[in-house]
Amino acid sequence: MSIKAEEISALIKKQIQDYQSDIEVTDVGTVITIGDGIARAHGLDNVMAGELVEFSNGVLGMAQNLEESNVGIIILGPYQDIREGDEVRRTGRIMEVPVGEELIGRVVNSLGQPVDGLGPIQTGKTRPIESGAPGVMDRKSVHEPLQTGIKAIDALVPIGRGQRELIIGDRQTGKTSVAIDAILNQKDEDMVCIYVAIGQKESTVRTAVETLRKHGALEYTIVVTASASQPAPLLFLAPYAGVTMGEEFMYNGKHVLVVYDDLSKQASAYRELSLLLRRPPGREAFPGDVFYLHSRLLERAAKLSDAKGAGSLTALPFVETQAGDISAYIPTNVISITDGQIFLQSDLFFSGVRPAINAGLSVSRVGGSAQVKAMKKVSGTLRLDLASYRELEAFSQFGSDLDKATQAKLARGARTVEVLKQDLNKPLRVEKQVAILYALTKGYLDDVPVTDIRRFEGEMFNWMDSERKELLQTIRESGTLPEGDELDEAIKAFKKTFAISE
Catalytic residues: 365
Cα separation of 259 and 172, whole Å? 17
Cα separation of 407 and 65, whole Å? 65
β pairing state of 255-261 and 302-303 = unpaired
Cα separation of 100 and 2, whole Å? 63
Q: Is the peptide bond before 317 cis (omega within 30 degrees of 0)?
A: no
Residue (of 207, 132, 326, 87) closest to 195 by Cα position:
207
CB 320 within 8 A of CB 169: yes
Cα separation of 432 and 297, whole Å? 35
C-beta atoms surrounding 325 within 10 Å: 10
CB 171 within 8 A of CB 186: no
What b/e sequence results for 193-215 when a residue is b if at least 16 CB atoms lie within 10 Å of its CB, and e otherwise?
bbbbbbbbeeeebeebbebbeeb
Cα separation of 266 and 260, whole Å? 9
Where does 148-201 have alpha helices with state H?
151-156, 175-184
H/E segment holding residue 409: helix 404-420
CA quadruple 301, 139, 289, 64: dihedral positive or negative?
Answer: positive
Cα separation of 143 and 160, whole Å? 6
Beta bridge partners of 445: none
Cβ-in-10-Å burial (0-12, 13-18, 19+) of 396 comes to: middle
CB 33 within 8 A of CB 85: no
Cα separation of 318 and 166, whole Å? 6
